[in-house]
Amino acid sequence: MRRRPAHNGRLTPTDADMPNPPASPPAATPPRLFRSEEELARLPASERIRYRLVDCGRRYHANDNIADCVRGGELAELTAEVQAKLQDVLHTLVIDTESDHNTQETAKRVARMFIDEVFRGRYHPMPAVTEFPNAERLNELMIVGPITVRSACSHHLCPIFGKVWIGLLPNEHSNLIGLSKYARICDWVMTRPQIQEVAVTMLANELQRRVRPDGLAIVMEADHFCMHWRGVKDSNTAMVNSVMRGAFLKDANLRREFLALLPRKNA
């Protein structure tokens, strides 16, 4: 049997020399705190939803949609939770919500506004969008807009108001959707806390997946109230950004045609 020197100079057998080398201990599996919906039901709705997201490895950033991890009735519970927390915020701001009739229902109103309106795109699923085959094999430039969009800055939760223009170059395999559906998709993507650059990219990804055009172009121009209302308080600054894909990225003439047809508000 082969031996190796030990630290005291004596020879000791190696693991390979042993008839049955000791097995490595199995990796410890992190225990799960909750194993059933019944156990989760004892927690607040926000914790139940967060558990499901973490359990399936889902990201839940401010601009992510988490609707598929929300169960029936939980949005009402979540709204009540938000209301209670906002009431604490008002109390900490030293606002007398008991004798001031203007703020007695403020926490409730703001909670409902967050869940059902301004952040609706986080908590509600994508609206139904009917798609039609391109039976006429349309392949000319299509422009939809300006579509009015409302969002919120994820840094300060201040409003973002703007316009979106969408350019499409369909092909015979593209799916066509109704004009109003572009507005519905825009609203679903934009009604989340986010930054404009990412919002436009997310909108482009959703339209690319649904329509499958040869070219896709999106331009967004928006006013950010984190600039107007606070900080530098500059009321004249707007942000414009674009996403160009496929033919719009490769064909400079097509890109110029699209941009020239946009009725920009400052033009």
pLDDT tens, residue by residue, 43-75: 899 999 999 999 888 999 999 999 999 999 999
Percent of the chain with pLDDT over 70: 84
Percent of the chain with pLDDT over 90: 59
Strands 193-194 and 142-153: parallel
- Specify the pLDDT at position 35: 58
Is residue 235 very low, low, confident or very high in pLDDT (cuts 50, 70, 90)? Answer: confident
Kindly state whether residues 85 and 141 are assigned to the same domain: no
Kindly state whether residues 188 and 256 are assigned to the same domain: yes
Kindly state whether residues 223 and 157 are assigned to the same domain: yes
Kindly state whether residues 111 and 140 are assigned to the same domain: no
Q: Are 161 and 223 in contact (CB under 8 A)?
A: yes
Which stretches of 103-237 are DSSP H helices? 106-113, 120-123, 179-190, 196-211, 225-228
- Specify the pLDDT at position 15: 47
| Final residue before a domain boundary, out of 104, 123, 142 | 123
Q: pTM value?
A: 0.78
Kindly state whether residues 194 and 238 are assigned to the same domain: yes
Average pLDDT over residues 14-37: 54
166 domain-assigned: yes
Which range marks the domain in which residue 108 is found?
45-123
